[in-house]
């Protein structure tokens, strides 16, 4: 589904991603761990097409297409979802209207002749999904992420994911900031999404999340590269030993 080959990318001339290779197949869950500042968020933003970052080398193929050629909205419409580490606040824009816009954009992309969803029908879908992630209805009428607590923002990301039903979800530290109940709810939400057809990249610092969501692969990113890949037990090892044994002589 996704094939990243020797990807180099950076910000205003500084290289942050320094040659990443990663292959993700349908139905797989990949966890990416690694020290602060190692480039995990940058990698996910590059995959989502953030204009601040410049790709300086390598290729990314998504479902047979050159992902790097696609506009950010086209990537989203083709089924990539990015759950932000720091979701931005957008005052003035109503949360449920935003969700409906996104839903309609997807709907019309799949079928240009389709009609936009009836707001009342959408309401029903929204209510069901909010239940799924255990989110209170009052967040529907709030402005998008505006004044949301850290955990509420993360839940709102998962709500969006549940509504957009992406093929590939890249979740950047979605677990950080969630309380224990919320973590369970969010994990359940993610688990429900994982089916034979979808794939998930989980960026996380905590092995705890991986108790709820079983990853098929665990990768360690350090200084802009994936320095180690393994299976679930790698996460346990990292939890016990930290990153030093991997990062010290890496360059």
Partner 1 sequence: MKPESPKQGASLEEVLEDQNEYKYGWTTDIETDKFRKGLDEGIVRAISEKKNEPQFMLDFRLKAYKKWLTMKPPAWPNVNYPPIDFQDISYYAEPKPKKKLESLDEVDPEILRTFEKLGIPLDEQKRLSNVAVDAVFDSVSVATTHKKKLMEHGIIFCSISEAVGEYPELVEEYLGSVVPAGDNFYAALNSAVFSDGSFVYIPPDTISPMELSTYFRINTEDTGQFERTMIICAENSYVSYLEGCTAPQFDTNQLHAAVVELVTLDNAEIKYSTVQNWYSGDRETGKGGIYNFVTKRGKCQGEKSKISWTQVETGSAITWKYPSCILQGDKSVGEFYSVALTNGLMQADTGTKMIHIGKDTKSTIISKGISADKSSNSYRGQVKVNKGADNARNYSQCDSMLVGDKSSAHTFPYIESANSSAHLEHEASTSKISEDQLFYFQSRGISRENAISAVINGFCKEVFKQLPMEFAVEAEKLLSLKLEDSVG
Ligand X SMILES: Nc1ncnc2c1ncn2[C@@H]1O[C@H](COP(=O)(O)OP(=O)(O)OP(=O)(O)O)[C@@H](O)[C@H]1O
203 binds partner 1 (CB under 8 A): no
Count of residues that interact with Mg ion, criterion CB under 5 A: 3
Of 36, 88, 180, 196, which one interacts with ligand X (CB under 6 A)?
36
Q: What are phi and psi of 66, to 5 degrees?
A: -75, 105
Q: Which is nearer to ligand X, 12 or 115 (CB)?
A: 12
* The dihedral formed by the CA atoms of 144, 149, 153 and 154, expressed in degrees to the nearest 10: -170
82 binds partner 1 (CB under 8 A): yes
38 binds ligand X (CB under 6 A): yes
Tokens in use for 93? 């824009």
Query: CA 36, CA 217: separation in Å to the nearest integer?
Result: 20
Query: CA 131, CA 112: separation in Å to the nearest integer?
Result: 30
Residue 241's alpha-carbon distances to 187, 202, 220, 234, in angstroms, are 25, 21, 13, 10
242 binds ligand X (CB under 6 A): no
Of 3, 11, 104, 216, which one interacts with ligand X (CB under 6 A)?
11
| Residue 185 neighbours by CB under 8 Å, 6+ apart | 133, 134, 155
Q: In the stretch 61-100, what mask flags binding to ligand X with x, by CB under 6 A?
A: ------------------------x---------------
85 binds Mg ion (CB under 5 A): yes
Q: What is the 3-state secondary structure (H, E, C) of 47-84?
A: HHCCCCEEEEEEEEEECCEEHHHCCHHHHHHCCEEEEC
Q: Which residues bind ligand X (CB under 6 A)?
A: 11, 16, 34, 36-42, 52, 85
Q: Which residues bind partner 1 (CB under 8 A)?
A: 48-52, 70-77, 81-82, 84, 87-88, 90-94, 97-98, 101-102, 104-106, 108-109, 112, 116, 143, 160, 164
Q: Which residues bind Mg ion (CB under 5 A)?
A: 40-41, 85
């Amino acid at each position: 589904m996704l094939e990243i080959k020797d990807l180099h990318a950076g910000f205003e001339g500084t290289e942050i991603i320094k040659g990443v290779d990663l292959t993700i197949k349908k139905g797989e869950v990949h966890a990416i761990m690694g020290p602060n500042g190692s480039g995990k968020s940058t990698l996910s933003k590059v995959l989502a097409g953030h204009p601040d970052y410049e790709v300086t080398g390598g290729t990314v193929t998504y479902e047979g297409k050159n992902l790097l050629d696609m506009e950010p909205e086209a990537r989203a419409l083709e089924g990539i979802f990015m759950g932000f580490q720091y979701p931005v606040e957008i005052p003035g824009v109503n949360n449920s209207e935003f969700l409906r816009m996104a839903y309609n954009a997807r709907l019309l992309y799949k079928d240009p002749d389709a009609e936009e969803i009836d707001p009342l029908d959408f309401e029903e879908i929204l209510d069901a999904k909010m239940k799924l992630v255990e989110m209170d209805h009052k967040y529907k009428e709030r402005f998008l992420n505006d004044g949301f607590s850290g955990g509420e923002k993360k839940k709102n990301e998962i709500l969006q994911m549940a509504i957009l039903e992406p093929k590939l979800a890249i979740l950047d530290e979605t677990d950080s900031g969630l309380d224990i109940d919320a973590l369970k709810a969010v994990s359940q939400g993610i688990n429900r999404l994982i089916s034979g057809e979808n794939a998930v990249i989980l960026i996380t610092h905590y092995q705890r999340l991986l108790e709820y969501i079983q990853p098929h692969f665990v990768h360690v990113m350090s200084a802009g590269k994936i320095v180690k890949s393994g299976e679930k037990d790698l996460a346990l090892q990292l939890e016990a030993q930290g990153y030093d044994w991997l990062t010290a002589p890496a360059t």
